[in-house]
Amino acid sequence: MRTMLNSTINMFKSKLILLIILLFFSCSENIKTTQKPLNIVWISCEDMGPILGSYGNEKIKTPNLDKLASEGVRYTNAYSTVGVCAPSRFSIITGMYSARLGAHNMRTGDYHNYKTPEQVSHRKDIGVIDKAGKNIPEYEVVTPPHVKPFTEILRKEGYYCANNFKCDYQFNTPFTAWDEVSSTVSFRDRPKDTPFFYVWNTLLTHESRIWERSNEPLTIRPEDVIIPSYFPDIPEVRNDIARKYSNIEAMDKKVGELINQLESDGLLENTVIMFWSDHGGNLLRQKRAVGNSGLNVPLIIKYPDKKNAGKVDDRIVSLMDLGPTVLSLLNIKPPKHYDGKAIAGRYEEEAREYAFGTADRFDESTDMQRSVLDGRHVYIKNFIPELPLIYRNKYRERITMNSKLIQMDSLNMLEGDAKYIFMRTKPLEEFYDLADDPYEVNNIIDDTQYTEKINEFRVALENWQKEINDQGFIPENEIVESFWPNRIQPKTENVTFSTDKQGRLELSSITDGASIGYQIDEKIGTNSWSLYHKPIELGDKQKIVARAIRIGYKASETTSN
């Protein structure tokens, strides 16, 4: 009797356990199927070092970004690859060092914003001479066939990719890179229930806004600003720094508006927000500089569940890591050829030991500098030391304080740290310890206390330049010739149509590395192109056109089936 009772109890237990297991998997499957896909939003600002409230600047009021930092992860050692827009953004969109692929000179043409292939033109004379004394026309960087905007990977995975609205990649943006690029596009424009990758760029903190917003009310008094030691304390400096601070506060308000939109749409619970600047500060010895002042940027990542809220991450991060990190967070394995590394997500990689920076031609002025940074130390090698550190540049001299300081230098009116940055020639090497010298004005390259560290950085730079085959040693006219033989832009071959065994339409171009866009029915003739990545099932009465593009090439003609 007892044996029979035990047997009944055991059978009951087994059935109960089985029922629990079935219920568990049923619930798990329901969670899996109802879980919303992850969205990514990039908030991209311009020309700004880490001088927000959350980074310790008590003079600037940035409550929206400070809240973002308190709910996310704040990175203290994030760096751009170049201290100016276009080469930096090239690295961001491709995940590659600009100096590796010949995209390091600022800038190659007028590609700030998206243009259709028919809108693109290239001037033959822009008043630029390279280090060999040769004229440099406008051109587009031609990348190797496998190097494409990382957004194409997202589009293949079904993500709606929209950019509002800056590109500036050293090549005209391929029509296959984004679903839409415009000054009005929003994440709200995506097809219903489609996950999205949305980039919102603000120009409010750009160098040009120092003069373009000069008549706007200041929200910070000139007497309250922090003056870096390499600027003299004069009214022009205080006024322009106050304008810079006020522009940052105006930018912060716009960031708050965007986050409020996401919240009102119920999207914060499944959206990662990443805030960053494309390079360091916008004043002299900041923008275009190859040291900490030109490369160190703010970077904040906020997760939907506020994971690691308030964490401060001291790892060395490059802006090239942004694209791979987006892919990794979406469980997409980044391509092996990337110089960028995922800093979060499924495919997170080992932290960097150093950040490397480059400075070459900036508009009409040519130089060559390379740097190594580890968060505390800055090593700079000047390959044309006979040139001054602060060179003439028409664009930045529209800032009142910049032109004033250049005038004061010409009259020998500067002294101390302000005089230091106007050195007539540069030392072959520079080395700074940011712990004691945050403004990089005390060159300790000959200090025996740092000999071992300096040698470490020298070796690191040499190895890195060899590894990437640094194109900075090549005159720019030769680089242009390698992209466009005889200075004639190559053209992408037309798309051809074929049918597979299942009757689906296949598209191809014989140009190696070409991406293909297509339009069906009512989309034909618009600026919206679907990215071809698999055979297309087309109805009997449907019409289709297609076009191919390779980075740096002319687009093909538009052809139809």
* Mean pLDDT to the nearest integer, 264-270: 97
Residue 125's alpha-carbon distances to 108, 111, 279, 445, 518, in angstroms, are 12, 16, 28, 41, 35
d(CA 529, CA 526): 8
367: helix, coil or strand?
coil
Q: What is the DSSP letter of 213?
A: T
Q: Which residues of 40-64 are buried (b: 16+ CB within 10 A; e: fewer)?
A: bbbbbbbbbbbbbbbbebeebbbeb
pLDDT per residue over 22-78, tens digit each? 444 444 444 333 478 999 999 999 999 999 999 999 999 999 999 999 999 999 999
pLDDT per residue over 108-156, tens digit each? 999 999 999 999 999 999 999 999 999 999 999 999 999 999 999 999 9
Closest CA to 168 of 249, 80, 61, 243: 80
d(CA 32, CA 153): 23
pLDDT score recorded for residue 35: 77
Using the predicted structure, report yes or no on whether residue 499 has a pLDDT greater than 90. yes
CA atoms within 13 A on the CB side of 313: 21
d(CA 274, CA 297): 13
Domain ranges of the chain: 1-35, 38-102+109-116+144-351, 496-560
User: Against a cut of 0.85, is the pTM above it?
Assistant: yes
d(CA 466, CA 212): 42
d(CA 142, CA 162): 24
Q: Are strands 180-181 and 355-359 parallel, antiparallel or unpaired?
A: unpaired
* Mean pLDDT to the nearest integer, 349-359: 98
The residues annotated as belonging to the active site are 85
d(CA 77, CA 44): 17
Residue 507's alpha-carbon distances to 59, 176, 216, 495, 548, in angstroms, are 57, 14, 53, 6, 10
pLDDT per residue over 479-497, tens digit each? 999 999 999 999 999 999 9
pLDDT per residue over 442-493, tens digit each? 999 999 999 999 999 999 999 999 999 999 999 999 999 999 999 999 999 9
Q: Are strands 311-318 and 296-302 parallel, antiparallel or unpaired?
A: unpaired
- Whether omega before 165 lies within 30 degrees of 0, making that bond cis, reads yes
Q: How confident is the model at residue 249 (pLDDT cuts 50, 70, 90)?
A: very high
Distance between the two ends of the chain, CA-based, in angstroms? 81
CATH dotted code for 496-560 = 2.60.40
Choosing among 3.40.720.10, 1.10.1780.10, 1.10.490.10, 3.20.20.210, the CATH entry for 38-102+109-116+144-351 is 3.40.720.10
pLDDT score recorded for residue 34: 46
Nearest-10 Cα torsion for 211, 217, 220, 223 = 80
Give the CA angle between residues 357, 273, 292 to the nearest 5°: 20
Q: How confident is the model at residue 18 (pLDDT cuts 50, 70, 90)?
A: very low
Residue 199's alpha-carbon distances to 40, 68, 167, 287, 443, in angstroms, are 9, 17, 10, 23, 39
What phi-psi label fits residue 125: left (phi over 0), alpha (psi between -120 and 50 degrees) or beta?
beta
